[in-house]
């Protein structure tokens, strides 16, 4: 084989290897040339090609790894930025909520003070009215009790008077009976008996 023919085969092999990215497929006839020096040269070329393929693959892996690292770094930066934005947004919302809560709390406190003052006013008014009602009720109760006591006393006096009248009546009846019996028995006189009332 001539040197031109070997170069053409070498280029064809390089082209096949770069296109397919797979292991070289070399025909046995091309590898074993009767000219031993050509075999050594082809083997040397094959080693160079294999070395170049290894370097390409390593570079590709390094490039892929570097690209992955760049992608991860980019994504990490993007995620950090998103998290920072979210934190900032949450902090703003928290501050806004805290302000609204503080405002609402003050409004509630003011309303509570107003209602407490109103309650105190109503309570004081109720206490005064209650005291007045209790005094009026107490006075009415005392008057009622006095009236009832007076009535009870009047009833007792009436009963006593009635009893006294009855007793006087009984005394008269008894005196009459004694007089009658005395005159009947003949041993009594009018002087023994007191006059009737």
* Model pLDDT for residues 16-75, shown as the tens digit of each residue: 544 444 444 444 444 444 555 667 777 777 888 888 888 888 877 777 777 878 888 888
The yes-or-no verdict on residue 132 having pLDDT over 50 is yes
Q: What is the 3-state secondary structure (H, E, C) of the chain?
A: CCHHHHHHHHHHHHHHHHHHCCCCCCCHHHHCCCCHHHHHHHHHHHHHHHHHHHHHHHHHHHHHHHHHHHHHHHHHHHHHHHHHHHHHHHHHHHHHHHHHHHHHHHHHHHHHHHHHHHHHHHHHHHHHHHHHHHHHHHHHHHHHHHHHHHHHHHHHHHHHHHHHHHHHHHHHHHHHHHHHHHHHHCCCCHHHCCCCC
Say what the pLDDT of residue 70 is: 83
* Model pLDDT for residues 73-128, shown as the tens digit of each residue: 888 888 888 989 999 999 999 999 999 999 998 999 999 999 999 999 999 999 99
Say what the pLDDT of residue 64 is: 74
The yes-or-no verdict on residue 1 having pLDDT over 80 is no
Say what the pLDDT of residue 67 is: 80
The yes-or-no verdict on residue 178 having pLDDT over 60 is yes
Could you tell me which residue, 122 or 142, shows the higher pLDDT?
122
Say what the pLDDT of residue 9 is: 54
Say what the pLDDT of residue 31 is: 46
The yes-or-no verdict on residue 180 having pLDDT over 80 is no
Domain boundaries, the chain: 3-81
């Amino acid at each position: 084989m001539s040197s031109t023919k070997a170069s053409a085969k070498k280029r064809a092999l390089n082209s096949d290897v770069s296109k397919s990215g797979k292991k070289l497929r070399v025909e046995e006839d091309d590898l074993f040339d009767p000219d031993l020096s050509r075999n050594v040269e082809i083997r040397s070329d094959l080693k160079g090609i294999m070395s170049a393929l290894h370097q390409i693959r390593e570079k590709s892996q390094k490039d892929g790894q570097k690209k992955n690292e760049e992608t991860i770094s980019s994504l990490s930066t993007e995620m950090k930025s998103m998290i920072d934005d979210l934190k900032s947004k949450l902090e703003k919302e928290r501050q806004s909520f805290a302000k609204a809560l503080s405002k609402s709390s003050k409004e509630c406190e003011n309303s509570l003070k107003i209602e407490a003052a109103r309650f105190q006013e109503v309570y004081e008014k109720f206490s005064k009215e209650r005291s007045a009602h209790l005094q009026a009720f107490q006075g009415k109760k005392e008057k009622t009790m006095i009236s009832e006591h007076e009535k009870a006393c009047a009833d007792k006096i009436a009963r006593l008077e009635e009893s006294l009248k009855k007793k006087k009546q009984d005394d008269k009846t008894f005196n009459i009976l004694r007089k009658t019996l005395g005159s009947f028995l003949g041993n009594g006189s009018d002087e023994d008996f007191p006059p009737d009332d």
